[in-house]
Amino acid sequence: MKELVENSTDAGSTDIRIEILYGGKRLIKVSDNGEGMDKEDALLCFERYATSKLHNEEDLFRLSTMGFRGEALPSITSIAKVRLVTALKSTHQGVSIEIQGGEIKSVKDSPSVGTTVEVRDLFFNTPARRKFLKAHNTESFHVIDRVTEQALAHHEIGFSLVSDNREIMRIPVASSPRERIVQIYGEEFVGGLIDINRETADIKMNCFVAKESNLRSSKTYQFIFINKRPIRDPSLTHAIYNAYEGILPQKKHPVFFLFLTIDPGVVDVNVHPAKREVRFENKEPIYNFVLSGIKDALPRPLQPKTHDFPSTSVISEALELGYKTCVSFIPFGDAFIAVSEPGGLTLVDQHAAHERVLYERFLGGVDINPHPLLFPRQLQLSHKEYHVVLANSSILKDFGMELDDFGHNSIVVRSLPEVLRDADIRGILADIASCLIGGVAPDRELRETLAAKIACHRSVRGKTILKQEEVDQLLSDLQKCLHPESCPHGRPTRIFLSLEDLKKMFKRT
Ligand code: ADP
Ligand code: MG
């Protein structure tokens, strides 16, 4: 699918339509309105190493198209039943060619516009390889991911995706990368990004990165494009993380959409079989360019702020408290509190402690009572998130989140549990979606995993100094937990140093 779409983008198309059946196993069909081919080229394009993308020797070193190896079509036709219908732009003739397992079966005249390639019954002649295909759903999610990526890379092209006869993506032509990101993820999402533009003689960067208030707990929204090609590049990713140094809490990730335009003479896009990695003549200046561009745009340094601790609906029963209602404590760095106790000293990791408290409440059904929202919130999700979240709406309902389909990738949140009232719902749903797609650890139930995710989102983050009442509440709530000693991920919530321990440390015994 990716190779076919790349051919369509190379052909100067402005509209690309993708249709799949059974996650693409039964059918992958890509239609475009590009320049097309005449009959002679149409017959030639299935030959190995046949490409129209090299016009002279220099082109080999200055590639600006997505392909040029002439391998995709022959490889596809050797393992599937393929039909190509194409007509050279502005001619009325066209041709339809059927080819199966590499063998041409029929050639007919067929007037058409642009090019359509239909690939049926993937691996029909190599059943052993067919087994490696994943479940329909998984394959469809991969297709959505790849189309999303292509759509981000080519804002000037309109895309639509139909899966099992249902249109699940429709993205009209956009005027800028920003508009394209809005089309896919919504205005609200883009509101959380900073738009950075930089240019030197050899390199141009347009980059959208998360504001400091919009960091995520997964790497879902991280894209790098070089000359319109989606790539993975650990060192450029590192440059971006590096730009966030000092403002990125542990286990948090920035959102980024990095679009680089670099002289094709200095990047080699041909090293990787799936063309997902590139090699640079000299990486360092590009690394520094990205790092400094983003770093300069991010506000710093930041003052730790007081956290608006979520109001809890549970009234603490003072009698059961292991702590006095007004404990004396010292905030320690920006993540710990030290509490003095009769027999020694307890060090508390406030984030871990709060996570434990929320986690047990969610699992126990406390705080889950759905509160209908006076103004239901409409949220736009990515195509993939939208489908996963809706497919699992009944589990979410168990967590007090009631939502409805609003069409076009949007959902309406009708009720939320009290504790999530003013949380980042979009972020939580995105996180839940990625864990539903990724599957849960075998020793855990989905409910537990979701509870842990939600708890993690809602809990006190680092760089937060808690007020007296908040510390009192947190410690008393923690004391009431079934397993107060560790957070849902297994990290300790508190460490007790007895007077004895301290004496030993100071060699007083
Ligand atoms: P490559 O893209 O590396 O050239 P492919 O096997 O993917 O190799 O395609 C072979 C050739 O077929 C291309 O070079 C192009 O000339 C032609 N072709 C394939 N798809 C299309 C399309 N959608 N529109 C026009 N020409 C196409
Ligand atoms: Mg190609």
Query: How would DSSP label each residue in 95-128?
Result: EEEEEETTEEEEEEE---SSEEEEEESTTTT-HH
**Dihedral of alpha carbons 31, 34, 38, 44, sign:** negative
Of 49-53, 66-70, 137-141, 329-333, highest mean pLDDT: 137-141
Q: Is the CB of 73 under 6 A from ligand 1?
A: yes
CA of 174 to the centre of ligand 1 (A): 25
CB of 115 within 6 A of ligand 1: the answer is: yes
Output the pLDDT for position 473. 87
Q: Which atom of ligand 1 sits closest to the CA of residue 8?
A: 23
Q: What is the CA radius of gyration of the chain?
A: 28
Asked whether the predicted pLDDT for residue 376 surpasses 90, the reply is no
- From-to residues of CATH 3.30.1370.100 in the chain: 329-496
198 alpha carbon – ligand 2 mean position (Å): 31
- Considering only CA atoms, which residue is closest to atom 27 of ligand 1? 7
Q: How far apart are CA 48 and CA 370, in angstroms?
A: 60
pLDDT at 75: 92
d(CA 41, CA 91): 14
| CB of 53 sitting under 6 A from ligand 1 | yes
Question: Among residues 332, 325, 327, 326, which one has the least CA distance to residue 351?
Answer: 332
> How far does residue 7's CA lie from ligand 1's centre (Å)?
5
Percent of the chain with pLDDT over 70: 90
Give the β-pairing of 222-226 and 256-262. parallel
315 CB-side CA count, 13 A: 2
Range with the lowest mean pLDDT among 264-268, 379-383, 425-429?
264-268
Pick the more confident residue, 401 or 460: 401
Percent of the chain with pLDDT over 90: 44
DSSP 318: G
Highest mean pLDDT among 260-269, 280-289, 380-389, 446-455: 380-389
The pTM of this model reads: 0.73
* Residue 40 CB neighbours (<10 A): 10
pLDDT above 70: residue 203: yes
Q: Which ligand is the nearest neighbour of the Cα of 38? A: 1
Task: List Cα–Cα distances, 438 to 142, 273, 443, 449, in angstroms.
Answer: 12, 25, 15, 11
Q: Taking residues 87-100, what's their average pLDDT?
A: 93
Q: Is 32 in the pocket of ligand 1 (CB under 6 A)?
A: yes
Tell me the average pLDDT across 91-105.
92
Quote the ligand 2 centre to 203 CA distance (angstroms): 26
- Is the pLDDT at 69 greater than 80? The verdict is no
β-strands 256-262, 203-210 pairing:
antiparallel
CATH of domain 2-173: 3.30.565.10
Going by pLDDT thresholds of 50, 70 and 90, the confidence category of residue 15 is very high
Name the nearest CA neighbour of 361 among 481, 470, 280, 213.
481
94: Cβ below 6 Å to ligand 1? no
pLDDT recorded at residue 325: 53
Residue 302 has pLDDT above 50, yes or no: no
Residues that place a CB less than 5 A from ion ligand 2:
7, 67, 72
Q: What is the topology classification, in CATH, of domain 199-297?
A: Ribosomal Protein S5; domain 2 (3.30.230)
Task: Give the model's confidence band at 295: pLDDT under 50 very low, under 70 low, under 90 confident, else very high.
Answer: very high
What is the mean pLDDT of the segment spanning 187-193? 91
What pLDDT is recorded for position 210? Answer: 95
How far is residue 144 from each of residues 71, 96, 163, 188, 231, measured CA to CA in Å?
24, 28, 10, 21, 17
For residue 73, which atom of ligand 1 is closest to its CA? 6
- Contact predicate 395/401, CB 8 Å: no
Q: What is the CATH number of domain 329-496?
A: 3.30.1370.100
Q: Which ligand is nearest to the CA of 47?
A: 1
Give the confidence band of 322 by pLDDT, cuts at 50, 70, 90. very low
Q: Is the pLDDT of residue 356 over 50?
A: yes
Which part of the chain is CATH 3.30.565.10?
2-173
Determine the distance separating the centroid of ligand 2 and the alpha carbon of 29, expressed in angstroms.
15
Q: What are phi and psi of 30, to 5 degrees?
A: -120, 120
pLDDT at 367: 67
Going by C-beta distance under 8 Å and a sequence separation of 6 or more, which residues neighbour residue 70?
A: 45, 47, 48, 49, 50, 51
Residues 6+ apart with CB under 8 A from 170: 159, 160, 161, 408
What pLDDT was estimated at residue 273?
67
CA angle 68–83–21, rounded 5-degree value: 100
